[in-house]
Amino acid sequence: MRAIFKLISLLTGLILISGSFAQKIEPSFIQLPLDKGVSVNLTYDMVQDNSGFLWFGTMYGLVKYDGENYTTYKYESTNPNSISFDDIISIFEDSKRNLWIGTWGGGLNRFDSQRKIFKRYVHIPSDKNSIADNIVWSVCEDKDGMIWIGTGSGGLQILDPVTDEIKNIDLNLNDTTEIKPSVQEVIADDNSIWIGHSEGISSFNLQTTNIKHFDLAEANGNIKGSSFVNSIFIDSKRNLWIGTSNGLMFYDQFEQKFARNDKINFNITSIAEDLNGNLWLGSNNGLIKLNTKDDELEIFRNDRENSIAANYVNKVLVDNSGIVWASSYNVGIAKVLLSPSKFNLLQSEKDNPNSLSANNVKSIAEDENGNIYIGTYGNSINVFNPETGKISFINIPQKGFTVVNSLAIDKNFLWIGTRNSLLKYNINRKRFVNIPFTKEQKSEVEGKSITALCFDVGQNLWIGTYNQGVYYFSEEEKTLQQLSISELKNIKHANFILSIFSDSKNNIWIGTYGGVYKFDSQIEKFESFTHSKNNLAGLSNNYVYSILEDSRRNIWFGTASGLNKFDTKTKNFQQFYKNNGLPSDVIFGLIEDNSGNLWLSTNKGISSYNLQDNSFLNFEKEDGLQGNVFNSSAYLKSSDSTIFLGGMNGVNYFNPANLSFSEYNPPVVITSIKIKDADGNFIVANPGSELIELKPDQNSILIEFASLDFTNSEKNKYQYKLFGFSENWVSVKNDNSVTFSRLPHGNYSFQLMGTNSDGIMSENFASFSFIITPHFYQTWWFIPAAIIAGLLILFLTYLLVLKTKVRRAIKIQKIKDEESERIRKKTAIDFHDELGHRLT
């Protein structure tokens, strides 16, 4: 059943990227979009529930997020089961999976996720059993299931969720005023409840009910307001951390003393721990990463492109997969990815001399020593040494702006094709040298835009130009010959050369804007292959950007509309498109790795094609790419099997054998079930129901689902089976829903599997069952009953007919008898009269 989700063979033996290409792991910041009709720009609190959903407490309602869709719960004046207020400032999930939602002015709410209803707890001055204040900053649950409530001005309370009885807790702060402290945080720790408030921090012993208060002012330097506690956090090693208005503090449980981190003197609003044991702190001066082992700090501020969107971070959350979520006032929520990038990156960086001279990479080549030459939009060529990581430069001796369209290396010489000339560079001597052209040959090439360079097996140079066809140059014979494909084949745009490739048989393949052309070196003739709408087995598009011969001697073409595999025997093309699994139909670069997989650069990321099972594995910017748009001539497989792919914003390089993939098993959940009846009305069913019973006309059903890996939710894939309808697993492409229409009556079981963002199938799955009851005429007993009824009707009809016949026969007999009697009587009378007449 999992065969559909087979990953390419490069997944076997996965290891982390290491060696000479190792680099510091930089977090990747991605802002949640604000264009889906949901206001998460003002988010005060965030939690991940037991099912894996994210919940955001915003100024405009409670928001549930599954990676693709948002569900918002808001106050409804006519619905007493709606949330009491839209301004959400705290969220907590208890052991029974109820959500407790604190508001700014609307009290506390308990949300029943199964029934989708809220129970309200609001402050009523005349009711002593109501909560003390309608501002609820924090909620937690102790080991006995009691709910602890921290309020804005009503102090601390305990709520029994069974009886709804509320009890006030006096913190005994020895304050002469009657004003109770603002309780900002309550958190349970074994036998204690830690309470952070405006006067410091207190500990409530659940066994003895004793309360101990700690004044943080002295440990915080006696700075005014330094005792105000915003957040409390207990890490995986049971250490207690306190975020105050004047920095971060640590509680030493052995000495029972608080110590201040002298490096952090900001207002700490929130604390969370990642999977590596690092603390992430929200503050008024950026997002802070604290390595607790060596006390190293890294602060992310809104001062560069890949960073936090605002310096005030009010809440930090680390989800089950290790993603850090940071919410900031007015700008929304940032998703911070900590996993190492799958792809190394070379870019131009301001004030960094060891970076590319320009980001738009047009061409890549490698010399005999493994140095990588990178041509860009600019007046220099970048030389990258993979072993040292150093970049040096070759300045091009040309006036004006230069574009390095193509590069080729033969022995110790680098050939450079620019938009107006052909250059030759001696790598060992590090200087440009003259090309041995005659005066006529030089004038023939000079001023032309060189778009492609390729050496054949005889070390002859093939030179592709823009609208001037192909030149064939033999340096040994000092000959230069122009081949005008348009004139030879009378095909429009064939002289616009995009790519040149020499195969194992020394055939030269030339990709153009007018198709692809094979030059047979033995007979010195061209053979053309062009796109035709009437030829389904022909080339898919005339724009041929890249050409490759794989280890099986197949010829591949990357075009502006699909990947093409060429059969040299039948001369037919097999096409692959986006609907086959490609991220885009535009294929710029083609490379084969050591496992026989193809790597393709496109205008929507890169893709790996596994020829064994015909599966595609796609990557995009969020995976660490320079961007989603790559360039057509900027691709290379180096001598050590590293793949280089250049695009609009730099160069990615990687060894496919060393790619690392996520092993996270996300929850797979059914988020919505909508049933449509014959009248077109929708009925929403509870996804948590064990069995849903539907009427006969409720036979169309829409099922929505999600795999709760938030790394890149668009890459989560799904596979489902509907038992009772089909025994086959079906893959869902680019969607998280499925619709079944006009299902016949019967018993059904829907089962769902999903992957994480790297395409690895999760061990978790989701399912539910439903029954569509039949119409009475569709039931098992209807036909036997109908037969019996029919026979009964026939029998009754027979009896009726028989009875009618009998009645008729009786009636006829009666008439006969009456006639006979009448005749007898008449005969008797006649006889009597005749006899009397004779006697007289």
DSSP structural state of residue 580: G
Examine the fold and report which residue of 725, 751, 778 is the final residue of a domain before the chain moves on: 778
Residues 6+ apart with CB under 8 A from 230: 184, 185, 196, 243, 244, 245, 267, 268, 269, 270
Q: Are residues 754 and 691 part of one domain?
A: yes
Token pair in block for residue 713: 């939710």
**Cα separation of 108 and 127, whole Å?**
15
- Assess whether 672 and 773 both reside in one domain: yes
Q: Give every CB contact of residue 125 below 8 A, 6+ residues apart in sequence.
A: none
Do 749 and 678 belong to one domain? yes
Residue 126 lies in a domain: no
Helix (H, G, I), strand (E, B) or coil at 280: strand
Same domain, 757 and 736: yes
SS3 221: coil
Structural domain includes residue 699: yes
d(CA 424, CA 381): 13
Query: Quick count: other Cβ atoms within 10 Å of Cβ 611?
Result: 17
**Per the domain annotation, does 714 fall within a domain?**
yes
* Same domain assignment for residues 686 and 724: yes
In a domain, 516, yes or no: no
Place of tokens 């009597």: 832
Number of domains in the chain: 2
Which residue, 754, 778, 802, sits at the end of a domain? Answer: 778
In angstroms, the CA 58 to CA 63 distance is 7
Res 334: pLDDT: 95
Domain ranges, residue 797? 785-840
In degrees rounded to 5, what are phi and psi of residue 204?
-110, 120
**What does the radius of gyration of the chain's CA atoms come to, in whole angstroms?**
41
Q: Do 673 and 746 reside in the same domain of the chain?
A: yes
pLDDT of residue 9: 37
Coil/strand/helix, residue 65: strand
CA distance 654 to 643: 5
Q: How far is CA 169 from the centre of its chain?
A: 46
First to last CA, the chain: 123
Identify whether 233 is part of a domain: no
In a shared domain, residues 796 and 763: no
738 and 813 assigned to the same domain:
no
User: Where among 758, 778, 798 does a domain terminate?
Assistant: 778
- Rounded Cα distance, 442 and 422, in Å: 9
- Is 746 a domain residue? yes
Residue 828 domain-assigned?
A: yes
Distance of CA 130 to the CA centre of its chain: 44
Instruction: Specify the CATH number for the domain of residue 718.
Output: 2.60.40.10
Same domain, 689 and 707: yes
What residue spans of 437-544 are helical by DSSP H? 439-445, 485-489
At 34, list the tokens.
Answer: 């604000």
Residues 6+ apart with CB under 8 A from 459: 410, 475, 476
Whether 16 is in a domain gets the answer no
pLDDT computed for residue 221 by the predictor: 63
Distance CA 779, CA 772 (A): 12
Query: Are the CB atoms for 643 and 653 separated by under 8 Å?
Result: yes
Residue in the structure block whose two tokens are 């393949």: 509
> Strand order of the sheet with strand 99-103?
88-93, 99-103, 108-112, 117-121
Note the pLDDT of residue 16. 32
Count CB neighbours of 318 within 10 A: 19
Residue 598 corresponds to which tokens in the numbers above?
């193809």
**What gap in Å lies between CA 88 and CA 135, rounded to an integer?**
10
If asked whether residues 722 and 676 sit together in one domain, one would say yes
Distance CA 69, CA 63 (A): 10
- For the record, the structure tokens of 244 come out as 């105050």
Output the six-digit token pair for 581: 């699994």
Same domain membership, residue 774 and residue 685: yes
Q: What's the average pLDDT block by block, 10 residues per block, for the chain (840 residues)?
A: 39 34 69 76 95 96 95 96 98 97 98 93 94 97 97 96 95 67 94 93 94 80 73 94 93 81 92 97 97 93 88 97 94 91 92 94 97 94 97 88 94 95 96 94 93 95 95 93 82 93 96 96 90 95 98 97 96 96 97 98 98 93 93 97 98 95 95 88 84 91 97 94 94 89 94 94 95 82 83 89 87 83 78 64
pLDDT at 114: 86
Same domain, 770 and 674: yes
- pTM here? 0.84
Angle, CA 80 vertex, CA 75 and CA 81 arms, to 5°: 80
Residue 687, pLDDT score: 86
Q: Which residues pair with 374 in a beta bridge?
A: 364, 382
